[in-house]
Amino acid sequence: QLLVKSYRSFDDKQWPRRPSQANITSMRILLVEDDSSLAEGLKAALIREGYVVNHVNNGRMALAAVAAEEPDMMVLDLGLPDIDGLEVLSTLRDKGVRTPVLVLTARGELDDKIIGLDRGADDYLSKPFDMKELAARLRAIERRLSTAASSVIRIGEVELDVAAHAISVAGESVDMPRREYMLLKTLMESSGQVLTREALEARLYSWGEEVSSNALEVHIHHLRKKLPD
Ligand code: CA
């Protein structure tokens, strides 16, 4: 029932093979930022950190994107051209969306920071900021998420530890490149459901990311070799 095609996987080589290594992520980030050069830089940097990043440049599109599929985390600029970022945040929280949100504010907008935190932001950064700082803040949010989530999914002999990003089959640990890990996690979280190719693509790839036509088949093929029948 794996309706799948496959993808370019150049960055799998950089994916840490050992679960103990730092900077492992399989998170999807929605980046809401109207400054296009800043957004491009952030997106490239976050993709290098291993995140799947989707970018929108206004509040309306942010709300639509979250309604279509909730991201794992959001980076939200407050000064947006249509709906104010704080308004976007309030709307999401009113709808019960609990996705962690890191708010970006212009320098000196202290009131905005306070209001943002009051309205359910998880953290904030003032512009200009260092990309390393943003990456560290996101990792901190991610660690809080992992400890909050039930951390082990078990199906038959296959066990996936979400917090440790570790896979074992019949008690033996199995090394897995990043996309394979994300694919397996998605399949295990959706056990019993049929996933469309589009749904898998949305989990594994950023919007606009170049994907070769046979990459998903390749990942599935590799997964099958590592897993029991
Ligand atoms: Ca802005």
pLDDT tens digits along 86-121: 999 999 999 999 899 999 988 666 677 777 788 889
At 40-93, the pLDDT tens digits run 999 999 998 889 999 999 999 999 999 998 999 999 999 999 999 999 999 999
How far is the centre of ligand 1, averaged over its atoms, from the C-alpha of 80 (Å)? Answer: 5
Give the predicted TM-score (pTM) of the model. Answer: 0.68
Task: Compute the distance from residue 50 Cα to the ligand 1 centre, in Å.
Answer: 25
Q: How far is the CA of 35 from the centre of ligand 1 (A)?
A: 6
Please give the full DSSP string across 80-114, using - where no structure is assigned: -SSS-HHHHHHHHHHTT----EEEEE-TT-HHHHH
Give 32's strand partners. 56, 76
Q: How far is the CA of 117 from the centre of ligand 1 (A)?
A: 18
Q: What separation in Å is there between the alpha carbon of 4 and the centre of ligand 1?
A: 37
Ligand 1 centroid to residue 71 C-alpha, Å = 20
- Outline where DSSP puts E strands in 57-177: 73-77, 101-105, 123-126, 152-155, 158-161, 166-169, 172-174
| 87 CA → ligand 1 middle, Å | 14
